[in-house]
C-alpha cells in the first residue's frame, strides 16, 4: 500500500495522499458493510462506435443524492468529519461516481476505492467543474470525503454514477483488439523504445459515460519538462473532460504476441485543457503534474513544418488494450479529413493503408511520427482494421501549429514554443533528466471557465428515470459483504 501511494505522490497534493481512513484501523468508524448502499441495475452496453468518436467503456446514469440522505458520517479523533457512501453496480466490471463541485468539497480530500483496498484513487476536489472519479474495478465502489477541520457535515451531492463494461486496470476485462496488431515489446518496436515511453492510454468522463483514447507526452522548445499531452479534440474538447482524465503509462504486454498481461499500475489523474481545434481535431492538455520519475516517460519530439514525410509510424492503444505499433512505409498523403484526394494545403495526413499493424477504436488521439521520429499529427479517424486496406486520417501538427493566427486557445505554437522563438519548428524528443529545468506554473488556459461542456463524443448523454436505482437494507446484502475482505472499523 505504501508503494502505491508513493507512485501517486507526483500527481496530487500531499494532503490528498493519506490512505483512506475507511481502510485504516480506526474502530470508531462505522463498518463499511453496515452502510446502506446505492444499488444500480445492469445497464446496456454501447454499440460499436463510429469513426471519429471515442470508445466508451462505461455508461453514465444521472442520479441525485446528497450526504444528508446517503451514506454515513463519522467523526475522526482529530475532530474532522468523514462521509462515506457505497455504490454497488450489479454485474458491472467497474464503477465510477461524479459529485457536484462546491467550496466545501474543494476544502476536503476525497478518495474512491474498492472494498478490499486493491484499487485506490484520490479525487481532484479543487475544481469548478463536476468531480469525476476514475473507474474502480469490480462491482462496488466506496466514496470517501474527509472534511476540513472547520467544516461540520457540509452537503456533498452525487450527481451521476458510471456503470463499467470493462475495468481499465484489469486487462482480462478489456475488449480484444485485432490479431494483426503488433505489441510494442516485439522486435518491430526496438527502434522506437523512447517514443513508446511517451504514449499513454487514458479514460475520461463525458455526458454519455467514460471513454478510452490515446495520447502522447510532448517536448517543448524550453526543455522545461512541462507535462504537455497531445490527443484528439473529439476525445477532449472541454476543461471538465480534461479534469476527468486518468492516464495509464507503460500498459504493455510482457512478451511479443503473448497473453495480454499489461499492468495499469503507473497511473495519474487530472489535466487542464490548453488548446484545441476541430479543424485538425487536436487537443493539448497540461497534466496536473509531471509523470512520476518511476514511470520512465519520454517527451516526444515533433515537426511543425509542412514538409512531406516519407513514411509513418503510429503508437497507440487499440480498443484500449495494451500498447501497439503500426507502420506505413509509403509516404502519407496531404489531404483533408475523409478525403482520398491530395492537396498541399490539406489539414490532414492520410495513411492509405497500414503495411504492419492497424489502428482501432481507442487509438483515437494517438500520434503519427515521421521517418525522423518527429510527431506530425494525431489520429482523428478512419476505417483501418485487421483484414482490410482502408485508410486513416491524422490532423496535421503543422496546421495546428498556427491556427487562427497562433491563437493560444486553438494553436500549438504558444505552448510548444512558449518563449516565442519561432525556431526551431522541429525538435527531437528528450528524457526529462536530459532536459533539466523546473516545471513552470500552470499555463494560461482558455477553457477553465467553460461551464461544463462534458457531452463529448457523438453519443447522447446519460440515462436516468427508466433505469432502476434502489436502496437495499444492509441485511439483504450481508452475504455479499461477507465476500469482501480487508474492511475494518466498528462492529
* Shared domain check, 267 and 310: yes
Confidence of residue 49 (pLDDT cuts 50, 70, 90): confident
The pLDDT value recorded for residue 173 is: 57
Active site residue 234: yes
The pLDDT value recorded for residue 449 is: 55
Q: What is the pLDDT of residues 167-205, one digit of tens each?
A: 877 755 555 788 999 999 999 999 999 999 999 999 999
In a domain, 444, yes or no: no
Q: ∠61-62-66 over CA atoms, to 5°? A: 120
* Shared domain check, 199 and 159: no
Chain CA centroid to CA 259, Å = 24
In a domain, 491, yes or no: no
Q: Average pLDDT for residues 45-56, to the nearest whole number?
A: 84
Which is catalytic among the residues 67, 240, 364, 410? 364
Q: What is the pLDDT of residues 250-289, one digit of tens each?
A: 999 999 987 788 888 899 999 999 999 999 999 999 999 9
The pLDDT value recorded for residue 168 is: 73
Task: Indicate the SS3 state at residue 189.
Answer: helix
Q: Are 338 and 356 in contact (CB under 8 A)?
A: no
* Shared domain check, 257 and 369: yes
Active site residue 281: yes
Active site residue 364: yes
Flag whether pLDDT at 422 surpasses 50. Answer: yes
Confidence of residue 403 (pLDDT cuts 50, 70, 90): confident
The pLDDT value recorded for residue 281 is: 97
Range of the domain at 178: 173-435
Q: Are 240 and 98 in contact (CB under 8 A)?
A: no
Looking only at the bridges linking them, the beta strands covering 38-40 and 469-471 are antiparallel
Length of the chain: 491
Flag whether pLDDT at 349 surpasses 90. Answer: yes
Which is catalytic among the residues 88, 132, 234, 317? 234
* Shared domain check, 379 and 238: yes
* Shared domain check, 263 and 125: no
Q: Are 217 and 226 in contact (CB under 8 A)?
A: no
* Shared domain check, 230 and 133: no
Which is catalytic among the residues 162, 183, 281, 417? 281
Confidence of residue 2 (pLDDT cuts 50, 70, 90): very low
In a domain, 478, yes or no: yes
Give the count of beta carbons closer than 10 Å to the beta carbon of residue 190. 10
**Three cell numbers, residue 352:** 492509405
Greatest mean pLDDT among 74-83, 101-110, 173-182, 363-372 lies in 363-372
Exposure on the CB side of residue 218, measured as CA atoms within 13 A: 33
* Shared domain check, 258 and 401: yes
**Three cell numbers, residue 263:** 499492468
Lowest mean pLDDT among 24-33, 305-314, 337-346, 478-487: 478-487
The pLDDT value recorded for residue 24 is: 84
The pLDDT value recorded for residue 474 is: 38
**Three cell numbers, residue 146:** 474527509
Number of domains in the chain: 2
In a domain, 352, yes or no: yes
* Shared domain check, 132 and 222: no
* Shared domain check, 119 and 247: no
Confidence of residue 445 (pLDDT cuts 50, 70, 90): low
Sign of the alpha-carbon dihedral angle for 429, 430, 435, 439: positive
The pLDDT value recorded for residue 246 is: 93
Range 303-307 contact pairs with CB under 8 angstroms and sequence separation of 24 or more: 303/370, 303/372, 303/374, 303/375, 303/376, 303/397, 303/398, 303/425, 303/426, 304/397, 304/398, 304/401, 304/412, 304/413, 304/416, 304/425, 304/426, 305/398, 305/425, 305/426, 306/344, 306/396, 306/398
* Shared domain check, 183 and 163: no
CATH number for the domain that contains residue 426: 2.40.10.10
In a domain, 447, yes or no: no
* Shared domain check, 189 and 157: no
The pLDDT value recorded for residue 488 is: 29
Q: What are phi and psi of 209, to 5 degrees?
A: 160, -155
Flag whether pLDDT at 90 surpasses 50. Answer: yes
Q: What is the DSSP secondary structure assignment for residue 290, as one 8-state letter?
A: P
Q: ∠45-202-115 over CA atoms, to 5°? A: 70
Amino acid at each position: 500500500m505504501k508503494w502505491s501511494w508513493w507512485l501517486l505522490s507526483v500527481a496530487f497534493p500531499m494532503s490528498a495522499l493519506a490512505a483512506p481512513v475507511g481502510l485504516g484501523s480506526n474502530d470508531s468508524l462505522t463498518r463499511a458493510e453496515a452502510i446502506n448502499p446505492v444499488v444500480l441495475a445492469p445497464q446496456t452496453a454501447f454499440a460499436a462506435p463510429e469513426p471519429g468518436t471515442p470508445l466508451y467503456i462505461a455508461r453514465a446514469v444521472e442520479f441525485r443524492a446528497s450526504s444528508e440522505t446517503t451514506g454515513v458520517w463519522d467523526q475522526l479523533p482529530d475532530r474532522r468529519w468523514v462521509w462515506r457512501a457505497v455504490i454497488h453496480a450489479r454485474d458491472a466490471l467497474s464503477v465510477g461516481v461524479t459529485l457536484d463541485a462546491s467550496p466545501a468539497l474543494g476544502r476536503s480530500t476525497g478518495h474512491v476505492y474498492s472494498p478490499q483496498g486493491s484499487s485506490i484513487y484520490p479525487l481532484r476536489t479543487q475544481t469548478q467543474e463536476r468531480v469525476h472519479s476514475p473507474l474502480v474495478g469490480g462491482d462496488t465502489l466506496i466514496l470517501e470525503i474527509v472534511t476540513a477541520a472547520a467544516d461540520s457535515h457540509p452537503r456533498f451531492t452525487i450527481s451521476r454514477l458510471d456503470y463499467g463494461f470493462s475495468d481499465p486496470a484489469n486487462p482480462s476485462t478489456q475488449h480484444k483488439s485485432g490479431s494483426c496488431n503488433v505489441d510494442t515489446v516485439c522486435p518491430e518496436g526496438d527502434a522506437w523504445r523512447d517514443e513508446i515511453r511517451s504514449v499513454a492510454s487514458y479514460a475520461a468522463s463525458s455526458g454519455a459515460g467514460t471513454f478510452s483514447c490515446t495520447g502522447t507526452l510532448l517536448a517543448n522548445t524550453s526543455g522545461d519538462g512541462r507535462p504537455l499531452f497531445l490527443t484528439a479534440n473529439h476525445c477532449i474538447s472541454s476543461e471538465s473532460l480534461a479534469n476527468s482524465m486518468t492516464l495509464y503509462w507503460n500498459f504493455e504486454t510482457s512478451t511479443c504476441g503473448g497473453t495480454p498481461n499489461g499492468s495499469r499500475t503507473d497511473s495519474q489523474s487530472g489535466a487542464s485543457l490548453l488548446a484545441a481545434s476541430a479543424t485538425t481535431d487536436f487537443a493539448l492538455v497540461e497534466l496536473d503534474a509531471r509523470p512520476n520519475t518511476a514511470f520512465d516517460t519520454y517527451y516526444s519530439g515533433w515537426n511543425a513544418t509542412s514538409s512531406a514525410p516519407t513514411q509513418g509510424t503510429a503508437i497507440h492503444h487499440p480498443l484500449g488494450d495494451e500498447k501497439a505499433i503500426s507502420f506505413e512505409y509509403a509516404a502519407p498523403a496531404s489531404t483533408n479529413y475523409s478525403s482520398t484526394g491530395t492537396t498541399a494545403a490539406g489539414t490532414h495526413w492520410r495513411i492509405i493503408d497500414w503495411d504492419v499493424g492497424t489502428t482501432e477504436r481507442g487509438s483515437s488521439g494517438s500520434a503519427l511520427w515521421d521517418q525522423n521520429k518527429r510527431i506530425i499529427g494525431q489520429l482523428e479517424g478512419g476505417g483501418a482494421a485487421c483484414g482490410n486496406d482502408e485508410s486513416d486520417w491524422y490532423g496535421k501538427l503543422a496546421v495546428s501549429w498556427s491556427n487562427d493566427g497562433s491563437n493560444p486557445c486553438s494553436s500549438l505554437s504558444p505552448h510548444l514554443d512558449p518563449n516565442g522563438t519561432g525556431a526551431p519548428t522541429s525538435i527531437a524528443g528528450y528524457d526529462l533528466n536530459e532536459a533539466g529545468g523546473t516545471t513552470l506554473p500552470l499555463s494560461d488556459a482558455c477553457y477553465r471557465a467553460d461551464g461544463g461542456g462534458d457531452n463529448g463524443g457523438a453519443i447522447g448523454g446519460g440515462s436516468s428515470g427508466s433505469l432502476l436505482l434502489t436502496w437495499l437494507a444492509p441485511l439483504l446484502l450481508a452475504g455479499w459483504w461477507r465476500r469482501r475482505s480487508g474492511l475494518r472499523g466498528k462492529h
